[in-house]
Amino acid sequence: MKATQELHDLGQSLWLDNITRDLLDNGTLQRYIDELSVTGLTSNPTIFENAISKSNAYDAEIGRLTSTGLSGEELFFELALQDLTRAAEHFVSIHERTARNDGFVSLEVSPLLAYDTGGTISAATTLHKKAQRPNLFIKIPGTKEGNAAIEEVIAAGVPINVTLLFSLEHFLASADAYMRGLERRVAAGLSPDVRSVSSVFVSRWDGATSDKVPDPLRDKLGIAIGKQVYKAYRDLLASDRWQRLANSGARPQRLLFASTGTKNPKAPEDLYIRALAAPNTVNTMPEKTLLAFGDHGKVVGALPRDGGDCEAVLDSFRKAGIDLGQLAADLQTQGAKSFSDSWQTLLSAIDRKSKALQAVR
C-alpha cells in the first residue's frame, strides 16, 4: 500500500498545493486523485504567478478576455475561477461522499487586502457568489484585520480557508473569529454548518532559524509548532464553547498543515508529512513533496494528542535565543509581503501578455 493511502486511512486529508491549467488539461490532477489519494487542492498568489507568468497555457484565454475589456485583477480572477471551478468538479464526489467534510479547492482574495477588513469582506463575498461552488473555500489571511473579516464572512455563510497562520496565538485568534461568526448565525436562527480550515505554515519556521540555532535543533521548530497547535486544536474541540456549537449543527474548523515542503535540501522530503500525520486534519503538499511521499514516504503513526515533546523543544529554541512570538509576527508579515510581491509580478505578466497579444491581432 502506498504511503499516501496509509495517510488517508489514518484520517488525514491529502491536498495538492498547486494548480495549473496543464494539470487539468492533461489528466494529471485526476491521476493524483486516483493513485495518490488526493482529496482537495489549494492555491495562492505565488502558485498562480508561476502557473500564468511561466507558461503559455493561458495566453489564448488572456487574449480573449482582454478583447472583452477585462484587465488586471478582474482578468486574473476570471482565469483563476476557470481553473478552480474545473478543479472543484474533480472533487465533487469526494465532497458529497464525506458529507461536505473534504473535497475542497481554495481561492485567495487579493493579498493587497491583508490589512483591509472591509475590502476583504467585499472581495470574499463577491468571489464566493461568482464561483457558485459549494466546495470552494475563499482564503483570507489570519491577520488582525483578516480575523475581523473572517467573523463577518462566516456569519454571512461563506466557507473560509484561513491562511498565513504561524503560531498557537494566530491559530486561536482565527478559531475565535470563526466561532464568533457561527455563534452569530445560531443567534439569528441560521445553520452554523459553515465549513472552514485553519492553515498553519510549518517549514518557514525552520527556514528562518536554520542558521541561528545549534545543529541538533535544525528542522525541529516547525514540527514543534505543529504539535503545539494540534494539541490546542484537540483541546478546542473538547471545549464547552465548541460543544455548544456542535450541538447546534456546527462542524469543526479543521486544522490544515501548510508549507510542508522541506526547505533544507539535506532533510528527508517527507519530514513534515511523516511528523504531522493526524486524523481529522489536512496536509496540503507541494507537488514535488506529494510525489516523493507517494514513491518512498513512510507513515510512522499519528501525532500524540497532548503534543508530545513540543513544549520541551520550544523551550530549547527559547534558550537558544529565538523569540518565538516576534518570529511568528515577522513570518506572517513576510508571508503577506511575499504574496503581495507575487501578485504584482502576476498582474505585470498578465498586462505584458495582454499587450503583446493585442499587438499581433
Other CB atoms within 10 Å distance of the CB of residue 107: 28
Q: Any catalytic annotation for residue 139?
A: yes
Q: By C-alpha distance, which of 237, 223, 250 is closest to 311? A: 223
DSSP assignment of 150-201 equals HHHHHHTT--EEEEEE-SHHHHHHHHHHHHHHHHHHHHTT------EEEEEE
Please classify residue 54 by burial: count the beta carbons closer than 10 Å to its beta carbon, then call 0-12 exposed, 13-18 middle and 19+ buried.
exposed
Residue 118 CA to residue 204 CA, distance in Å, equals 29
Contact at 8 Å (CB) between 196 and 159?
A: yes
Q: Which residue has the cell 486529508?
A: 13
Cell 464561483 locates to 131
**Catalytic annotation, pick one of 2, 54, 139, 298:** 139
Q: Where do the DSSP E strands lie in the chain?
A: 12-17, 38-42, 105-108, 136-141, 160-165, 196-201, 254-258, 281-285
The residues that are catalytic are 139
